[in-house]
Structure 1
Amino acid sequence: MKVLLLGCGNVGANVARQLVPRHPELEYVVGDLDLAAAEKLAAELGSRVRGVRADVLDPTRLDELLDGVDLVFNAVGPFYRSAVPVIEAALRARVDYIDINDDHDVAEQLFLDPSWHVRALEAGIKLVIGCGSTPGLTNVMARMLVDRMDKAREIHLATAVPFVPGLLSPAVVDHMMHITAGEVVQFVDGEYRKMPGWGGRLEVPYAAPFKAYPSFFIGHGETVTLPHFIKGLDQVTNRIAFFPEDGSQVWRSLIDLGLGNPEVIESLGISPLKFLTHHLASEAGVRSVSVDLSDEPWAVASRVEVVGERDGAEVRCVLEHHLDLPTEQAEDSTADPTPTCARLVIEAWLAGGVTGTGLLAPEVCLDAEAYVRAFARETGGRLIESETVLKRDLYA
């Protein structure tokens, strides 16, 4: 069996570093636009791995790479540029596809147009979109809570992360501006609506050692796929907080200054966004926007809240996942839990545990309880569950 892993950046390389030693029986191809990076990673991982140059915007090259492949995993960002071209190639080659897409507009394009699902069914393949930490783990956490109810009406997702400019690579800044600087999709009153990114301020409470943080709308795939696959929902929202609050205020100011604009300024030959991505990666940029984290946890938190009905009562269930950040960054580690999330989905696929055919998302094709427990066990993360009865005898 042959697996094609596209993208040798931080996430893609760490997926390969986790996957290859666990499954040495497979044949692997790792591809990147930077051939040297692909070959270096392949040499590190051993003789079962071959490094190649991969331009995801070149259909002919993609067709060559997918020939004879059983699965393609896409970690090439930003996904608003890369996802659809690789999906088109997977459809042509009739090859199963998994990615970590975290751009809302890609999810809209795919899931709100039924032709993509039809084409995948006709090809007899699985297209599994958004298998990272958020979206991905968060979707499955939501499904885990929904499955415990008779009927779910609302799902509210939130993430809290420390504002550390030095950890924001140019690719991350590009992505974060893409999902916060314009309009983003939320599911409100039973329909998809465009809402202002970094709007919808809400104080979201987290369990200790976290606190309540002002949180703001972001554009992620969860607000598209969860109501698509879980019928009867009225609300699905997704928010993020940088902490302390000063970090969120810095981000708000960058948006308001227009630094998320991708249009090139002709006289300079560079866009405000391109400048920002490199500025925040520089020592001067880090110094200019750093905030005091001395009273905050060195960790990230994901929170999923589901409101619904069970046994005639209205209940609110909350599931949080807390994950400590590493104190030192090494080449083969990442503060982002996404590689572990993605690797677990790939392993589920290898074991026949990804159910269904067509256009899929993690919440509809994975064993929710098993996936969430496996992630927490492997990462050392903490799962914190709580439940509140809001109204008893709902039908009395």
Structure 2
Amino acid sequence: MKVIFFGGTGSMGEKAICELCSFPEIKQITATARSRSKYEKLLAKVETGGEKLRYLELDLDKAEDIAGIIRGHDVVANTAGPFYRYEIKLAQAAADANADYVSICDDFDAAQQVFGLDAMVRERGLRALTGIGWTPGVSSLMARAGADSLDTVEKINVSWAGNSDDSVGAAVILHVLHIFNGLVPSFLKGTLKMVPAGSGKESLHFPGSIGGINVYNVGHPEPVTMPRYFPNIKEVTLKGGINEDLFNKLALFMAKLGLCKNETSRNMLSSLFRKTLPLMRKTVGPASDQSGIRVDITGSVNGEPCQLTYSAAGPMEILTSVPMAIAIRELARGNIKTTGVFAPEAPGILDPQLFFTELEQRGVKIIREEK
């Protein structure tokens, strides 16, 4: 299988490419990058299979015939953020080039756009898997595993805790500014509703060194995608927060001032935060160096109420990049036969236990609790 990778020189992309290079099913990986120097840094981190890598100089903001660039590859892998800018652009180009598509998209509006390609992707016999990262991704597989253990599912509540050390990249900062701004989706009482970003503050416990973290309603895809796959579900919520609550409050404050409404202002803020974030972290003091995920699934078994909680903690690059790499390997093995656009929680597409095992082999323990 030949893979063309967009965003491969970022922190999430680097880890995914290192994983892919180690898989015998992957024969070639074309890594796009703005400069040769970034590619050389990536190449230096690849321990096994570096001979599979090819370099292609590309600026996504300036490239015109992306489908032409993709042709000759079997799969498009995308970790290039922010996804509200690049997801639909690359998913459309992949379909035009008759290639499968896999991304770690975590912007709800971008995910909605990709589902608009479903008929075309299905007609061409292709597969487009959006959001197979940390959240969505690991969160989606936890929801699927829990739901399959129950007779009925009423609620799925997804929460994440982010390590700010993992947030120094411009794309991640832009994402945080985007999801804390305006109205965001939440599936409540059987209906998709838009609620204020930053509302619904809640303190939840996460595993590992994270502990108690304040989380808020933010704009992720799970409330948009999960109701597609869980019949009769009444509630799907998504809340998240940075481990140091000061950064959550700062993002909310910027949004209230109207500084996050357009991409130009978000780009300016991202540049500012990228320079000052290390200093702010020193001022705030040490916090957990892990990121976390927690999914609470409420339903019934044999007519009795039951609540399952899945959780995990670890480096964001492992939580995010390993699921993507494993999904591409599953494509290469011919284990994903369903065509069309789908999210990771779609029934019968991905085996959650396979992904959990792969994560545990890399030091991320999946915890399952039942009440």
Give the structure 1 partner of residue 172 of structure 2.
Answer: 172
Is 1:121 equivalent to 2:98 in the alignment? no
Is 1:372 equivalent to 2:339 in the alignment? no
Q: How many residues align?
A: 365
Cα deviation, 1:307-357, whole Å, max 9, x if unaligned, reads 01110101111111122x4xxxxxxxx755312121111111112222411
Q: Is the 8 A contact 1:204 1:212 kept in 2?
A: yes
* Normalised TM-score (structure 1): 0.84
Cα deviation, 1:17-49, whole Å, max 9, x if unaligned, reads 221133376022111244553466458754432
Where does structure 1 lack aligned partners over 5 or more consecutive residues?
A: 265-270, 326-333, 389-396
Counterpart Cα distance in 1 of 2:63 and 2:162? 37
Counterpart Cα distance in 2 of 1:363 and 1:209? 28
Partner amino acid for 2:353? E
Where does structure 2 lack aligned partners over 5 or more consecutive residues?
A: none
Question: Percent identity at matched positions?
Answer: 25
Is 1:9 equivalent to 2:10 in the alignment? yes
* 1:188/1:27 CA distance change after superposition, 3 Å: same
Give the structure 1 partner of residue 136 of structure 2.
Answer: 135
Counterpart Cα distance in 1 of 2:26 and 2:242? 42
* 1:93/1:25 CA distance change after superposition, 3 Å: closer
* Normalised TM-score (structure 2): 0.90
Q: Is the 8 A contact 1:15 1:339 kept in 2?
A: yes
The 5 A counterparts of 1:289-328 are: 290=282, 292-294=284-286, 296-323=287-314, 325=315
Give the structure 2 partner of residue 72 of structure 1.
Answer: 76
Match of 1:363 among 345, 348, 368: 345
Q: Is the 8 A contact 1:4 1:30 kept in 2?
A: yes
Partner amino acid for 2:124? A
Counterpart Cα distance in 2 of 1:85 and 1:281? 26
Q: Is the 8 A contact 1:5 1:29 kept in 2?
A: yes
Query: In structure 2, the residue corresponding to 1:382 is in which secondary structure?
Result: coil
Bigger Rg over Cα? 1
Match of 2:271 among 278, 292, 299: 278
Q: Is the 8 A contact 2:98 2:124 kept in 1?
A: yes
Cα deviation, 1:210-250, whole Å, max 9, x if unaligned, reads 43332101111111111112221110000012234344333
Partner amino acid for 2:345? E
Q: Which moved more, 1:346-355 or 1:91-100?
A: 346-355
Counterpart Cα distance in 2 of 1:163 and 1:372? 24
Counterpart Cα distance in 2 of 1:263 and 1:340? 30
Give the structure 1 partner of residue 111 of structure 2.
Answer: 107
Q: Is the 8 A contact 1:162 1:293 kept in 2?
A: no
Cα deviation, 1:100-144, whole Å, max 9, x if unaligned, reads 111110122233x4xx21111111100110111111111001100
Q: Which moved more, 1:88-97 or 1:149-158?
A: 88-97
Give the structure 2 partner of residue 287 of structure 1.
Answer: 279
* 1:47/1:372 CA distance change after superposition, 3 Å: closer
The 5 A counterparts of 1:179-328 are: 179-207=179-207, 209-262=209-262, 264=264, 271=265, 273-282=266-275, 284-288=276-280, 290=282, 292-294=284-286, 296-323=287-314, 325=315
